[in-house]
Amino acid sequence: MVRHGETAWNKENKLCGWFNAPSSKKGIQEALAADQTLKRKGYQFDTAHTSVLTRVQHTLKVILEEIEQSSLPVEKTLRLRGIVKHLDKLSDEATMGINLPNRITFVYELDDNLKPIKCMQFLGD
């Protein structure tokens, strides 16, 4: 799973949610870094799932072009949601430990049945 890069709103420390904020210049660079990592590690996919938001589709397009899978079937849906807020002065490790009010950890690695296994590591780790 890859999250889109920084948005113009993230840069201002605003929660984007379902607002269709575009990627910032940094966000575009983050997408390029993710696609290069996926290519270097040799990832290949059967299908892709994405939100209908422009920033997310742009990130996917950049990645699929880099890993030479532009013709991959893509499922676009409103059902992919994230509760993510850009938080100042927190390390990646601290962000991973944040618990939401409903006591669900921020990001999980999922098993084949989409059940949480452990707190997710960032792609660059």
Q: Is 34 annotated as a binding residue?
A: no
79 is in an annotated binding site: no
To the question of whether residue 5 is assigned a binding role by annotation, the answer is yes
Residue 30 annotated as binding site: no
Residue 50 annotated as part of some ligand binding site: no
Does the annotation flag 6 for ligand binding? yes
Of 125, 2, 124, 121, the closest CA to residue 63 belongs to: 2
Known binding residue 103? Answer is no
**4 is annotated as contributing to ligand binding:** yes
Establish how many alpha carbons lie within 13 A of residue 39's alpha carbon, considering only the half-sphere containing its beta carbon: 14
55 is in an annotated binding site: yes
DSSP assignments along 98-112, one per residue: -B-TTS-BS-EEE-T
Binding residues for substrate: 3-10, 55
Binding residues: 3-10, 55
